[in-house]
């Protein structure tokens, strides 16, 4: 799937991810002694760690509980196993990392196939040992994207959000991953940074060697390894054509987003970092409709302080120059930050302790952020948005905490805007179906279609295997959006849409026809959506939306919308 448009041609750079999915790499015979030495060092370091863990466990938990480490130590001291890894390095000329993975996973599979009910559990111990050894091996020469000296196309099994957060400060010109979906956070950041990206490419991280020439075609969802001269020439032409299109769209930045019948539409930007505010303004944005504040956490190993929150928020507010900026409170959990820090990650984190649920169970963390947002509220047009609200109880709990933080700031004589607007994201069917009730207690709604589609259709939005099933064009999703907009109008509150659907020109006319008047998207998409808005009247959009409501399949809806968009705004798609 192409998830971020554009074309990049550069040397491939294979990134070994945090999950330690190790690509097969060969070495020369001359390098074998070095690899054996690295392996022995990792084995020694791992044994020292486990001995310390066992000693600590004896002191704190007793000898019986501490005996769980005996199996781990026994494996690391098993001469036949170690000799097998040595032979894999020496005879097959594989790296130490790949040899460890190959041998240990073979043993884990053997345990899984045993009928004894206890032995399959040992497979988990083997996987744990594998990670421990790899951590020491990769710690010596782990590939990172922080210190690149040349332009590259990154190939990886996956990019964690924290790795993706580093892309802005690197020389990455494009990337492709084995897994992922259109609305994964990696894809969202790629679009925000205008980096061509393709995801769900199966074994691309195994098929490419660092140094291979790679073409990333984010428009068509294609990755080409070591292209011939004719292919390179063709793609260089595509790059020139794309640059010309970008130049045309830049000319729209200074023009208003007004429909053909004179209705002003608000176009705002979704950002992850304060410096992106400038990009929103350059593209003609009317403010920031979604500031994803959790990226303060993803780029750091430690929890940010109140001062660090305030510094980042103040920078963004000043860059906005008086235009509104909506701060979404922390959306941690699911595939972000907190899962990597759990000793036992949740089995289904997207249905687990995430977003507002996470914050309500981690009040010091939540209060720290709220204090910073409220302190920043005197510096500009600041609004607070609560994510993944599913009930009035959650909403009221969050508002009580906001009220408590306000009282604390008053007692400390710290200025803030007591009338700051508070809104919620509508991104679950439960919130959509009770929008009329929720609307009585907030100042605005923002429809988060990424999660709304996921939860409505029961489709994991980061899973490439079910990617074709993830579509905002499903009749159920369209009906929910229509009902949310209607509830907002009846309550007299503003409704925006900040999911990836807002930045997709295929849906612009439909959303206008359903009654949406505020869109929020990644900055590069703003001129493209503005082009569609300026080409259509609301009367025509309403007629198209009424026709869409008669269709019973996403394929019918999408084909019809594409046909109408191409007819009304030919260059938009």
Q: Which sequence positions are flagged as catalytic?
A: 185, 498
Q: Residue 425, class by beta-carbon neighbours within 10 Å (0-12 exposed, 13-18 middle, 19+ buried)? A: buried
CA dihedral sign of residues 356, 360, 365, 368: positive
User: Terminus-to-terminus CA distance in the chain, angstroms?
Assistant: 16
In whole angstroms, give the CA distance from residue 558 to residue 182: 16
Distances (CA, A) of 96 to 23, 76, 206, 277, 471: 12, 15, 16, 45, 43
In whole angstroms, give the CA distance from residue 248 to residue 571: 10
Distances (CA, A) of 129 to 90, 103, 140: 22, 12, 18
Nearest residue to 14 via CA among 91, 97, 89: 97
Nearest residue to 170 via CA among 319, 313, 10: 10
Distances (CA, A) of 189 to 83, 105, 197, 289, 407: 44, 34, 10, 16, 36
Query: φ, ψ for residue 338 (rounded to 5)?
Result: -65, -30
In whole angstroms, give the CA distance from residue 79 to residue 85: 10
Are the C-beta atoms of residues 403 and 308 closer than 8 Å to each other?
no
């Amino acid at each position: 799937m192409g998830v971020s448009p554009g074309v990049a041609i550069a040397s491939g750079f294979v990134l070994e991810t945090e999950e330690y999915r190790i690509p097969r790499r060969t070495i020369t015979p001359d390098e074998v002694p070095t690899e054996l030495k690295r392996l022995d060092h990792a084995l020694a370091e791992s044994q020292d760690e486990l001995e310390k863990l066992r000693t600590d466990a004896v002191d704190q938990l007793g000898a019986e509980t501490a005996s769980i480490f005996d199996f781990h130590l026994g494996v690391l001291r098993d001469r036949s196993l170690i000799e097998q890894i040595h032979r894999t390095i020496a005879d097959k000329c594989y790296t130490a990392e790949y040899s460890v993975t190959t041998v240990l996973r073979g043993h884990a599979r053997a345990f899984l196939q045993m009928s004894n009910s206890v032995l399959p559990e040992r497979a988990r111990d083997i996987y744990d040992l594998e990670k421990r050894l790899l951590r020491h091996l990769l710690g010596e020469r782990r590939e990172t994207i922080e210190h690149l000296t040349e332009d590259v196309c990154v190939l990886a099994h996956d990019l964690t959000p924290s790795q993706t957060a580093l892309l802005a400060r690197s020389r990455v010109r494009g990337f492709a991953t084995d897994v992922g979906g259109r609305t994964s956070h990696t894809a969202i950041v790629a679009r925000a940074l205008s980096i061509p990206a393709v995801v769900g490419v199966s074994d691309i991280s195994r098929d490419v060697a660092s140094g291979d020439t790679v073409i990333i075609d984010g428009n068509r969802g294609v990755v080409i390894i070591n292209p011939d001269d004719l292919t390179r020439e063709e793609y260089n032409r595509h790059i020139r054509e794309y640059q010309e299109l970008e130049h045309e769209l830049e000319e729209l930045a200074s023009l208003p987003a007004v429909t053909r019948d004179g209705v002003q539409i608000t176009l705002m930007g979704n950002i992850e970092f304060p410096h992106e505010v400038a990009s929103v303004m350059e593209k003609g944005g009317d403010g920031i409709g979604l500031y994803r504040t959790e990226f303060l956490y993803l780029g750091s190993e430690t929890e940010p302080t109140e001062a660090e929150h305030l510094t980042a928020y103040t920078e963004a507010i000043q860059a906005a120059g008086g235009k509104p900026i909506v701060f979404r409170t922390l959306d941690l959990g699911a595939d972000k930050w907190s899962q990597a820090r759990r000793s036992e990650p949740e089995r289904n984190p997207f249905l687990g302790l995430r977003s507002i649920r996470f914050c309500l169970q981690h009040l010091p963390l939540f209060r720290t952020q709220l204090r910073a947002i409220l302190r920043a509220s005197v510096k500009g047009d600041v609004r607070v948005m609560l994510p993944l609200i599913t009930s009035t109880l959650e909403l009221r709990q969050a508002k009580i905490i906001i009220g408590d933080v306000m009282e604390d700031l008053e007692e400390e004589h710290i200025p803030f805007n007591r009338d700051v607007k508070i809104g919620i994201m509508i991104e679950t069917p439960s919130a959509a179906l009770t929008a009329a009730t929720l609307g009585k207690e907030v100042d605005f709604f923002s429809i988060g279609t990424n999660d709304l589609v996921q939860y409505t259709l029961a489709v994991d939005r980061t899973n490439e295997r079910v990617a074709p099933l993830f579509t905002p064009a499903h009749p159920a999703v369209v009906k929910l959006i229509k009902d949310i907009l209607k509830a907002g109008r009846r309550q007299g509150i503003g409704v925006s849409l900040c999911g990836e659907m807002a930045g997709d020109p295929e849906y612009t006319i439909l959303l206008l026809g359903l009654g949406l008047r505020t869109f929020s998207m990644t900055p590069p998409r703003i001129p493209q959506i503005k082009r569609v808005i300026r080409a259509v009247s609301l009367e025509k959009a309403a007629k198209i939306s009424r026709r869409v409501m008669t269709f019973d399949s996403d394929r019918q809806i999408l084909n019809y919308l594409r046909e109408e968009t191409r007819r009304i705004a030919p260059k938009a798609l």
